[in-house]
Structure 1
Amino acid sequence: MGKLFDAMLPQHEAFIRQQHIFFVGSAPLSEEGHVSISPKGHDSLRILSASRVAYLDLTGSGNETSAHLEENGRITVMFCAFDGAPNILRLYGTGKVVLPDSPEWDTLYPLFTPLPGARQIMDIEVHMVQTSCGYSIPFMSYEGERDTLQRWAVQQGDDGLIEYRKEKNMKSIDGMPTTLSVLYK
């Protein structure tokens, strides 16, 4: 089961800051609904306190996490050591979606390096932290960030991104509305 903590300790925060990728898991309440696991890169996660993190979510082909947070708030963020000592760290919590037109955006967005295609911020209250061995995780070397999404977002421009989100990001693959459906009525 690993070790459980009520909040992030300083060594957990240090480990998180060293990672180049993290994974986000969420799911609808429906048994027929699909569990979503999404990799996130770039310098897009911020530790706000020992029990709160946020990440800048970029435009993508889906928006599952937003729909799941709208329905039930449940979210897990996982980090793996691909170099150095083996370790897996999970943050279990409840999250909410912060949109660009909200007062929270004005507080949170300045904490991030601006990235083309930013569509929302996931604000997560962490209620449990788990560490486990990670003995089976392979070593992998970090070569750098891909710039494909950023180049694509710049090519789309603001109007193109809005149209793309209206077409691809308003509902989950299970047909659940995402938070963007409020923004783009």
Structure 2
Amino acid sequence: MAQRFDTLNERLTRFIREQKIFFVSTAPADGRVNLSPKGMDSLRVLDDSSVAWLNVTGSGNETAAHVQENGRMTLMFCAFEGNPLILRLYGTATVYHQHDAEWAQWYSKFDPIPGARQVFVLNIEIVQTSCGMAVPLFDYQGERELLRDWAVKKGEAGIRAYWAEKNQLTLDGKATGVFSLKCKASDVLQHGTGYCYFEKD
């Protein structure tokens, strides 16, 4: 049954490192809750009270806006093989964008992934386990390469243009902070390495 801890221990840290998928949940003060599955070897346990995960470009960017607003985040891990277990990490997160001074420091903790967009660092406040006896058994077959291939094909300028079009506002219209300054769409397209807030021409 459920157990609560203040920090990670060696057993739970090992469990996290063995997982191929984890789930991230955030929510604004008002608006829609976001829940996303993550893979691609994108999570690192930093110590017994913090983890970091690398966010790759996708169709939405809800997590960044929610974290900037209130910092609340829950990560969930499930055992899909072996002994049943569900592990949740509750805490407060910080988001680091590519235009932040700390980006290089945090990004260096991961193998480079095309389309990398943000790093989130979660300071763990509660660690909770539960039985997981109703979670089905699944066999891991491998990683999908589709998102990686898409990002490579887009290239850096193409990725930033995609951010400008798709990643600046949440479903509730909240700013994600993916760009740091205000500029026009043409600036994003012509200067793909620039950091700017999108404004239609």
Under a length normalisation based on structure 2, what TM-score does the superposition of the two structures give? Answer: 0.89
Bigger CA radius of gyration: 2
Question: 1 CA distance for matches of 2:131 and 2:146?
Answer: 33
Question: 1 CA distance for matches of 2:93 and 2:170?
Answer: 17
Kept in 1, the 8 Å contact 2:99–2:179? The answer is no
The residue correspondences of 1:155-174 to structure 2 (distance < 5 A) are: 155-174=153-172
Q: Which residue of 2 aligns with 1:138?
A: 136
Runs of 4 or more consecutive aligned structure 1 residues displaced over 4 Å after TM superposition: none
Deviation string for 1:105-126 (max 9, x for gaps)? 2211111011110011011111
Question: 1 CA distance for matches of 2:176 and 2:99?
Answer: 15
Kept in 1, the 8 Å contact 2:3–2:129? The answer is yes
Q: Unpaired segments of 5 or more residues in structure 1?
A: none
Question: 2 CA distance for matches of 1:6 and 1:102?
Answer: 30
Please state how far the C-alpha of 1:27 moved relative to its aligned partner. Answer: 0.5
- Kindly indicate whether residue 27 of structure 2 is the aligned counterpart of residue 27 of structure 1: yes
Q: Which moved more, 1:88-97 or 1:98-107?
A: 98-107
| Number of equivalent positions | 183
Please state how far the C-alpha of 1:101 moved relative to its aligned partner. Answer: 2.8
Question: 1 CA distance for matches of 2:196 and 2:52?
Answer: 23
Question: 2 CA distance for matches of 1:51 and 1:184?
Answer: 34
- Kindly indicate whether residue 196 of structure 2 is the aligned counterpart of residue 184 of structure 1: yes
Q: Which structure's relative contact order is higher, taking Cα pairs within 8 Å and 6+ residues apart?
A: 1
**Amino acid in the other structure paired with 1:18:** E
Kept in 2, the 8 Å contact 1:59–1:118? The answer is yes
Question: 2 CA distance for matches of 1:112 and 1:80?
Answer: 22
The residue correspondences of 1:42-57 to structure 2 (distance < 5 A) are: 42-57=40-55
The residue correspondences of 1:16-165 to structure 2 (distance < 5 A) are: 16-30=16-30, 33-165=31-163
Secondary structure of residue in 2 paired with 1:102:
coil
Q: Which residue of 1 aligns with 2:6?
A: 6
Kept in 2, the 8 Å contact 1:97–1:179? The answer is no
Kept in 1, the 8 Å contact 2:55–2:117? The answer is yes
Secondary structure of residue in 2 paired with 1:149:
helix
**Amino acid in the other structure paired with 2:4:** L
Kept in 2, the 8 Å contact 1:86–1:134? The answer is yes
Please state how far the C-alpha of 1:36 moved relative to its aligned partner. Answer: 0.5
**Amino acid in the other structure paired with 1:82:** F
Give the share of equivalent positions with the same residue, in percent.
Answer: 50
